[in-house]
């Protein structure tokens, strides 16, 4: 299984912090944000990674990560997204790197308390399709700003709704996605959204429509450090107090 870390975007929700750097290079407690996503993947046994970024600070990732060996990466590749074309477009840049293998995709502003190894192992056993990680969010107002799955009576995902006025469940779709190699056949068929981007929710809903979407519900803390200034500092506070990517047992 290959890993893709998505570290692009303009970071407008973290202005003015991101006027001078990419948001994924901002510190979370004692090290750059992007290293938590790398640690999560390497700790789960995924050691062939591609980092996709863009903008004027892309070279800083090379300075930070180099060949990746310091971080436990066996092979680290880089891709450059020339414009803000969406998460799905960024993933599409990794097609040749993935080479038909399975892939786990992680947005570099997602920070977790616990290891994702159980989810990686579950997807390795899954016969086909895709897998998403969900996190329970008790505040309905917060859910209205996130992607939220609708579940049927058998607890299967029937659709994913972005920023729903009436959230259909108490779960948020986190920025961690698992796909079989066919995902790269789906991306070219997508239609840009109203903001002119190829949306990862459309990719996920394609697998939902095929009946091949599975999910896990995360235990422990999940935070999107790029969601807002308040969220950024909340993630900082949590990691300083409790750490991240911990293995239970």
> What mean pLDDT, rounded, does the chain reach?
95
Determine how β-strand 130-136 pairs with β-strand 213-217.
Answer: parallel
Distance (Å) of CA 131 to CA 52, 134, 143, 157: 21, 10, 20, 10
Domain boundaries, the chain: 2-242
pLDDT interval class at 10 (50, 70, 90): confident
| This prediction's pTM | 0.96
Distance (Å) of CA 130 to CA 83, 102, 104, 198, 205: 26, 9, 10, 18, 10
Determine how β-strand 157-162 pairs with β-strand 110-112.
Answer: unpaired
Determine how β-strand 103-107 pairs with β-strand 171-179.
Answer: antiparallel
245 near 37, Cβ under 8 Å?
A: no
Report how far residue 29's alpha carbon sits from residue 6's, in angstroms, rounded to the nearest whole number. 20
pLDDT interval class at 127 (50, 70, 90): very high
Q: Could you count the other beta carbons within 10 Å of the beta carbon of residue 12?
A: 11
| The domain over range 2-242 is classified in CATH as 3.40.50.970 | no
Among residues 176, 242, 221, 224, which one has the least CA distance to residue 24? 224
pLDDT in tens, 184-196: 999 999 998 888 8
Q: Over pLDDT 90: what percentage of the chain?
A: 88
Question: Residue 236 pLDDT more than 90?
Answer: yes
pLDDT interval class at 9 (50, 70, 90): confident
Quick one: how far is CA 61 from the chain centroid?
A: 17
């Amino acid at each position: 299984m290959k890993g893709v870390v998505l570290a692009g975007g303009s970071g407008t929700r973290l202005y003015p912090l991101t006027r001078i750097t990419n948001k994924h290079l901002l510190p979370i407690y004692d090290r750059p944000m992007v290293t938590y996503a790398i640690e999560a993947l390497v700790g789960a046994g995924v050691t062939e990674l591609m980092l996709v970024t863009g903008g004027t600070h892309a070279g800083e990732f090379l300075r930070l990560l180099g060949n990746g060996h310091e971080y436990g990466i066996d092979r680290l590749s880089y891709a450059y997204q020339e414009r803000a074309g969406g998460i799905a477009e960024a993933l599409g840049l990794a097609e040749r790197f993935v080479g038909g293998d399975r892939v786990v995709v992680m947005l570099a502003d997602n920070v977790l308390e616990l290891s994702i190894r159980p989810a990686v192992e579950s997807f390795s056993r899954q016969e086909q399709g895709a897998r998403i990680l969900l996190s329970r969010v008790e505040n309905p107002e917060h859910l209205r700003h996130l992607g939220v799955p609708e579940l049927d009576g058998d607890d299967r995902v029937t659709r994913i709704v972005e920023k729903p006025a009436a959230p259909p469940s108490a779960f948020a779709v986190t920025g961690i996605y698992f796909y079989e190699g066919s995902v790269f056949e789906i991306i070219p068929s997508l239609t840009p959204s109203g903001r002119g981007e190829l949306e990862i929710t459309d990719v996920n809903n394609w697998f939902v429509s095929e009946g091949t979407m599975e999910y896990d519900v995360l235990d422990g803390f999940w935070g999107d450090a790029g969601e807002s200034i308040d969220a950024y500092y909340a993630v900082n506070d949590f990691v300083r107090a409790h750490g991240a990517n911990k293995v239970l047992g």
